[in-house]
Structure 1
Amino acid sequence: MIKLFKSSKKIAIKAPVSGKIIPLESVSDEVFAQKMMGDGIAIIPNDGQIVSPVDGTIGMIADTKHALGITTKNGLEVILHLGIDTVELNGSPFKMEVTNGAIVKAGQPIASMDIEQIQEAKKDPVVMTLFTNSSEKIKEFNPKSGNTNISEDVADIILN
């Protein structure tokens, strides 16, 4: 059998946290707002439970636990960035529930963060889901807006 065309791969991105979806361009850090780390979505969290937005493998957990990377089977590289300038908090508001190399499913609990501690330190607790190889991998990115609950679909991606 010969395939005459390659079908597009569509991936549903789950909300890693409950809260209000905001455009990535409106976050207070220019590196993220200008999409220097890739396209993505930001959510102002209502609580601190964090789940995986995609099926994949944990490939990176920052020493300060403020960020972790997940790679999907299609090669999409996803970074979950927990707050802005939270690297300065040396990991204290974060608890990881996974380790490097773990295989995760979308909606699986992977971390938690203490929003009050982050806010008391005068940091922004916004949770960003970034696609670091979006320019090579993503053909179409369709984020949703409004409020979301943890594990709900917040964006659709069509891969190249």
Structure 2
Amino acid sequence: MSLSLHEAKAAADLAKLFYNFLPGTGHSSWSGHVTFQSVAIQADVGEFWTGGSKEPALARLLEQTLKYKRNRFEELILKIVSEGIKYRRSKKNEVKEVEILAVNRVIKDVGFKFPDLWNPSFLASLERDPAPPSEQPAPPARYEP
């Protein structure tokens, strides 16, 4: 099965969106260290993690999963999101609702929709960016006689 250009672009877009969700590698002596490689192994697509530069390796992982183990794509994405939430929380850099909404758009654009990622309770539990200045209420005017 050949991967369409549209799907290849989606894999590249997802790689960019997921870049900061997890580290690409970790020291072999670190017990329990979660990386894109360990998540790929858990999702039964570990053979597609090539290592090297993180973003291209992640794009290849996603492309190869779509091409050869399409039935494992949802599990891979959900594991990346789940482990990414934990990892980013430990780094004081919470995953934001807007990031998951962007992931959902890309995934939907290639014909998938994963209910867990669209769950309103899940989305509401994520940190939201503050409203842009134009949408924030103006501070009360100070009265100065």
Q: Report the TM range for the smaller structure's normalisation.
A: 0.3 to 0.5
Higher relative contact order (CA 8 A, sep 6+): 1
Bigger fraction of residues in strand: 1
| TM-score with structure 1 setting the length | 0.31
Bigger fraction of residues in helix: 2
| TM-score with structure 2 setting the length | 0.33
Largest Rg, 1 or 2: 2
